Amino acid sequence: MSIELATQLVKNSNVRRRVAHRIVHPPAFDSGPYAPEVTQIFTSEAARGRGIGAQLLRACEEDLRARGIRAYFVHTHRDDNAAGIAFYRREGFVTISEGTSFGDVFLLMQKELGQA
């Protein structure tokens, strides 16, 4: 799955444009109806199972807590992604909805952050 997403990012100008816009113009989390979202986590297949993804999430969570944010989200492919979904569930995410983007079905998952 991560290779497919990376390939879309490289080949699809619309995806590149949306990602670049999000980087240059991130939403203002402390005003408006926005919520932080982890958009992509990639580890090589050989590196999986070593806790690298969990470490990346911990770093995000530390930053979010420092900003006073108490929850964040991930979108993840629903189909052919049992390992990814299991990873997010182990990390404390719960599925709150399902949707379609670029023709793929995704789960929207949320994690509540406790106090630091």
The answer to whether residue 91 sits within a structural domain is yes
Domains: count for the chain: 1
What is the structure's pLDDT at 93?
94
Domain assignment present for 25: no
Q: Is residue 22 part of a domain?
A: no
Would 52 be classed as within a structural domain?
A: yes
Round to whole Å and give the CA distance between 113 and 69.
Answer: 8
Q: Are the CB atoms for 98 and 79 separated by under 8 Å?
A: no
Per-residue pLDDT tens listing for the chain (116 residues): 456 656 666 677 766 666 665 555 554 444 445 678 888 787 888 888 899 999 999 998 999 998 888 899 988 888 888 888 999 999 999 999 888 877 888 888 999 997 65
In a domain, 1, yes or no: no
Tokens of 102: 């670029």
Q: Which of 105, 103, 109 is nearest to 12 (CA)?
A: 103
- Whether residue 8 is contained in a domain is answered as no
First to last CA, the chain: 33
Q: Is residue 41 part of a domain?
A: yes
CATH number at residue 75: 3.40.630.30
User: For the whole model, what pTM was predicted?
Assistant: 0.66
Residue 107 lies in a domain: yes
Domain region containing 89 = 35-112
The secondary structure of 45-72 as a DSSP string is: GGGTTSSHHHHHHHHHHHHHHHTT--EE
